[in-house]
C-alpha cells in the first residue's frame, strides 16, 4: 500500500503569521500530486524561514499570576533574570518582584523569589528541595581587607506558608545554636525523625538536606 507524506501549516488567528508546521503520513486521495523531492525541500526551506524558531531548551519563567512562559534564559543572578521566547524576539528582564520562579532545563535547576529575613527586597535563590519543607541556597561573594575573596553559603528553609528561616551557614560562627534549634523546630512535628536528628548530633549541610528529604517523604505519605 502506498502512503504519502503530508504537511499542515498553522496560522495565528489574529496576525495570520505562520506559527507551526506538522508532518503526518496518510493514504493518498484519488487525485493527488507528487511533488519532486528537490521542489519539496525548497518549499519547506521557504516556509520554515518564515516561522519563528522556539528554542529547543525548555527553560521557563513562572509569573506572579502562575502563568508559565517557555523560552530561553540567557543570564541570571540574585536580582534579575534575562529571558526571551524565540531567537528573534527581544530579551526581557524580570526581577523577583515580577516573577515567582524560573527553571533552567540544561542544569535541571529551579530558582524561586524569596523574601529573606531582615531584607527589603526578594532575591532569586536556588531551590534544593521541594515539598512541605522547601530548602534554598543563598551564595554571595565575600572580599577581605587583604585582597582575598571567597563565597558565603547559607541555607534557608520554608515550611508551608511560613517565613524563611536560616538553618545553616558556612560563614557565620555566631548563631549556630539558634540555627540548629530553628531547624529542629521545623521537623519536631515528626517526633521519630526529630528524635533521630537530636541523637545523631550532627549539624552539617548534608545532614540537614538528608532530614528534609526524610521529612518531606513522610509528609507526602
| Ranges of each domain in the chain | 4-49, 54-108, 115-221
Q: How many other CB atoms are found less than 10 A from the CB of residue 29?
A: 7
Percent of the chain residues past pLDDT 70, beyond the cut: 70
Cα dihedral: 116, 122, 125, 131 (round 10): 70
56 vs 182 pLDDT, higher one:
182
At residue 45, does pLDDT exceed 90?
no
Which pLDDT value is given to residue 151?
Answer: 81
- Give the pLDDT band of residue 89 (cuts 50, 70, 90): confident
Rounded Cα–Cα distance for residues 4 and 26 (Å): 6
CATH 2.30.30 is held by the domain 54-108: yes
146 vs 182 pLDDT, higher one:
182
Which pLDDT value is given to residue 66?
Answer: 93
Which pLDDT value is given to residue 124?
Answer: 98
Rounded Cα–Cα distance for residues 135 and 146 (Å): 34
pTM of the model: 0.72
Amino acid at each position: 500500500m502506498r502512503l504519502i507524506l503530508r504537511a499542515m501549516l498553522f496560522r495565528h488567528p489574529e496576525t495570520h503569521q505562520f506559527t507551526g508546521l506538522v508532518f503526518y503520513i496518510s493514504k493518498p486521495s484519488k487525485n493527488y500530486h507528487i511533488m519532486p523531492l528537490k521542489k519539496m525541500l525548497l518549499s519547506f526551506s521557504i516556509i520554515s524561514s518564515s516561522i519563528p524558531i522556539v528554542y529547543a531548551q525548555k527553560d521557563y519563567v513562572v509569573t506572579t499570576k502562575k502563568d508559565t512562559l517557555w523560552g530561553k534564559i540567557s543570564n541570571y543572578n540574585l536580582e534579575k533574570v534575562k529571558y526571551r521566547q524565540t531567537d528573534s524576539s527581544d530579551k526581557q528582564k524580570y526581577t523577583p518582584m515580577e516573577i515567582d520562579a524560573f527553571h533552567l532545563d540544561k542544569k535541571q535547576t529551579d530558582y524561586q523569589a524569596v523574601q529573606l529575613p531582615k531584607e527589603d527586597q526578594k532575591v532569586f535563590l536556588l531551590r534544593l528541595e521541594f515539598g512541605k519543607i522547601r530548602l534554598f541556597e543563598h551564595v554571595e561573594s565575600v572580599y577581605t581587607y587583604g585582597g582575598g575573596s571567597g563565597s558565603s553559603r547559607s541555607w534557608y528553609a520554608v515550611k508551608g506558608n511560613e517565613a524563611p528561616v536560616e538553618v545553616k551557614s558556612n560563614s557565620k560562627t555566631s548563631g549556630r545554636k539558634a540555627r540548629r534549634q530553628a531547624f529542629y523546630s521545623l521537623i519536631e512535628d515528626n517526633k521519630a525523625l526529630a528524635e533521630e536528628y537530636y541523637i545523631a548530633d550532627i549539624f552539617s549541610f548534608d545532614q540537614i538536606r538528608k532530614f528534609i528529604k526524610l521529612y518531606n517523604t513522610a509528609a507526602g505519605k
